[in-house]
Structure 1
Amino acid sequence: MLTIQIDEAEIMKLCRERIGELVKVVEGDNVFWDTAELKKRTCMSWNTIQDTFFFDSRFIKRKVGGKWYFPARETREFLVQWLLEYPIS
């Protein structure tokens, strides 16, 4: 017969450590996104982005030279809020 004993406190400690590691990876994300990254993160084409939320006054963006940049953290927060507000069809 096989008996297994699990130390729940140790399991919780290991889980917290791993979650902490993953949070650091996510927080270490880009500071800015460009249009290619925005398209990738939203799974939308540039035309769809422009037709849906690009011109929303809450959507922070800056054009530097000929390239658009979007602050990563604020953009992510905006996109979640925008999606929650988007009318269900």
Structure 2
Amino acid sequence: MIEVKVDESEVRKIYLKKLDEHIKKMDKEFLFWNSKDLMKQTRLSWNTIQKEFFYDPRFPKRKVGNKWLFPAKKTKEFLLEWIEEQE
């Protein structure tokens, strides 16, 4: 009979390390978000985004043709700052 013992804390460390690696990889994949990405990342509707922060002069955005593009890194930084300002 074979008996296997698993160190749960070690499994958790491995899992968290792999998760962090995956998140970093995903962050590097997107240079820009479009409006659908922005809605997905914030879990907010387009109307709410426009009402709450779209017109904030600090919010990074560019219109290219008919499409809005948002630099992913700067947009994340703005959103983290913005959410801290909310009461």
**TM-score (normalizing by structure 1):** 0.72
Counterpart for residue 49 of structure 2: 49
> Where does the alignment leave 5 or more consecutive residues of structure 2 unmatched?
none
- Alignment of 1:33 with 2:29, yes or no, is no
> Where does the alignment leave 5 or more consecutive residues of structure 1 unmatched?
none
Which amino acid in 2 is paired with 1:82?
A: W
In structure 2, relative to structure 1, the CA distance for the partners of 1:22 and 1:49 (3 Å cut) is: same
Instruction: Determine the C-alpha separation between the residues in 2 that align with 1:46 and 1:19.
Output: 29
Instruction: Determine the C-alpha separation between the residues in 2 that align with 1:20 and 1:80.
Output: 19
**TM-score (normalizing by structure 2):** 0.74
Counterpart for residue 74 of structure 1: 74
When the two structures are aligned, how many residues end up with a matched partner? Answer: 81
| Aligned Cα root-mean-square deviation (Å) | 2.6
Secondary structure of 1:83's counterpart equals helix
In structure 2, relative to structure 1, the CA distance for the partners of 1:20 and 1:84 (3 Å cut) is: closer
| Consecutive aligned runs of 4 or more in structure 1 exceeding 6 Å deviation | none
More helix by share: 2
